[in-house]
């Protein structure tokens, strides 16, 4: 819990600093890359979570990976987290940054659950429909759940639209029972 609160504080601080320098979009792209790189690499996760390795070794590894790909602000964040012995929350800070950035820019996160992965064409159609309904830009977070059989479940904020086959079967079952 305290790690989460600390991550939000660091994310807000780096966003504030990035806004002052008009580099918030660049830092957001950096944060997305940091999260995806760490999530895709089990070795990097092991290095970052290792209690045996010293913070300076972890810092050197991160700088080797990211120095040519990210802005100076992001490298500064890594330095700050190492200095404050908070490198373990780097992924959380990056995720919180993107959430706060999206809120600032008025971008909604639409969670779409489907039985199979969304194609690019469907992704575009869903984004267009979301913009039409909410009047806001959105990003799609696709979750695959074969138990819904087909169709989709769309959740934006506290609004949910269930157009799944399993939901339609449940409704039909209730109608037959009555």
Tokens of 126: 């869903």
Q: Using one digit for the tens of pLDDT, what is the confidence trace for 72-100?
A: 999 999 999 999 999 989 999 999 999 89
- Give 100-103's long-range contacts (Cβ < 8 A, gap of 24+): 100/8, 100/11, 100/12, 100/15, 101/15, 101/24, 101/28, 101/31, 102/139
pLDDT at 3: 61
pLDDT at 126 over 90: no
Output the domain CATH number for residue 68.
1.10.520.20
Tokens of 8: 């939000």
In angstroms, the CA 142 to CA 121 distance is 14
Containing domain of residue 112, as a range? 107-177
Q: What is the pTM of this model?
A: 0.72
Total structural domains in the chain? 2
CA dihedral (106, 13, 87, 103) in degrees, to 10, reads -10
Given 50, 70, 103, which residue is the final one in a domain? 103
Rounded mean pLDDT, 24-48: 93
Given 75, 103, 131, which residue is the final one in a domain? 103
When the pLDDT of each residue in the chain is averaged and rounded to a whole number, the result is 90
Stretch among 19-23, 91-95, 108-112, 134-138 having the lowest mean pLDDT: 134-138
Q: Are 77 and 11 in a shared domain?
A: yes
pLDDT at 2: 52
Q: Are 72 and 52 in a shared domain?
A: yes
Q: Are 12 and 93 in a shared domain?
A: yes
């Amino acid at each position: 819990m305290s790690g989460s609160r600390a991550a939000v504080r660091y994310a807000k601080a780096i966003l504030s600093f990035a806004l002052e320098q008009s580099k918030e979009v660049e830092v957001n792209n950096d944060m997305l890359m940091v999260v995806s790189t760490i999530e895709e690499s089990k070795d990097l996760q092991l290095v970052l979570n290792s209690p045996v390795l010293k913070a300076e070794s972890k810092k050197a590894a991160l700088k080797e990976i990211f120095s040519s790909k990210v802005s100076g602000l992001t490298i500064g964040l890594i330095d700050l987290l190492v200095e404050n012995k908070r490198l373990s929350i780097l992924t959380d800070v990056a995720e919180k940054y993107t959430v706060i950035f999206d809120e600032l820019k008025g971008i909604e996160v639409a969670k779409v659950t489907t039985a199979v992965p969304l194609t690019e064409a469907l992704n575009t159609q869903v984004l267009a429909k979301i913009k039409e309904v909410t009047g806001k830009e959105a990003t799609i977070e696709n979750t695959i759940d074969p138990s819904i059989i087909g169709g989709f479940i769309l959740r934006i904020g506290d609004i949910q639209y269930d157009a799944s086959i399993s939901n339609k079967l449940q409704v039909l079952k209730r109608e037959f029972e009555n």
